[in-house]
Amino acid sequence: MTTLILLAILGTLLGVVLMQLFRKPSAPAPAAGPDLANLKAADARTGDVISVSGAGDNMSDLDFTADRSMRYEAGARRWFEVSGPYRERRVALRVAGDEDAEISIHIDPRQLSLEDLGINEEDVAQMDERQNTADSFEFDNKVWLYRVSREAKAWRDDRAQPAQFYYWEFREQDGKGLLAIRKAEGEPFTVSLYTGIPAGDVTVYRGGNR
């Protein structure tokens, strides 16, 4: 009797082992994507509709569809921008950092040059050489403090190869402004002004074509 019981148990165990051996592997769980009902500025991408509270003309909401995105890298600094048309000009949302992302927008319609800032090529070259965060200049009745300058790369979402340029960054003293200067080889200096905004002011709607 004992022998029969042992044989039954062994048979059951053998059946379990065989079932495990021939069992089809379960499909991997799909990767969790962002909550489309609560997208953050860091989730923004080409095709999305971006709305920034009170940042448009006459304190209206700034609404635009992102038709371009760029990823930037300057040493340890990394950020990205999504941009699109707004009232016959191009605006951009800039997101820097992962945790506690720093959000800013570029809406200034002016095409600025170094001369407009009251500085010249020799000035920015000397600031780059000194790497001194005490360096500054005045523009638009504001003081702009030097923060960093170095070689940088930019990847556009529809191009495989990055663009290379030299990058200077300045921060508004006691304010939320950011001023970026870029210089690619063989091209003039370009100047972009950004204004820092709270992350809660940005609403992102996922575009239907992505």
Dihedral sign computed on CA atoms, order 100, 106, 112, 116: negative
First to last CA, the chain: 68
Which residue positions in the chain have pLDDT lower than 70?
Answer: 1-33, 98-99, 208-210
The reported pLDDT for the residue numbered 158 is 78
User: CA quadruple 34, 39, 94, 138: dihedral positive or negative?
Assistant: negative
This prediction has a pTM of 0.80
Which residue from 123, 124, 106, 130 is spatially nearest to 169, judged by alpha carbons?
124
Tell me how far apart the alpha carbons of residues 24 and 89 are, in angstroms, rounded to a whole number: 56
Q: What is the pLDDT of residue 10?
A: 43
Closest to 205 measured CA to CA, from 115, 90, 93, 89: 93
For 185, the token pair is 């080889």
Q: What is the pLDDT of residue 18?
A: 42
Alpha-carbon distances of 119 from 108, 113, 178, rounded to whole Å: 19, 9, 17
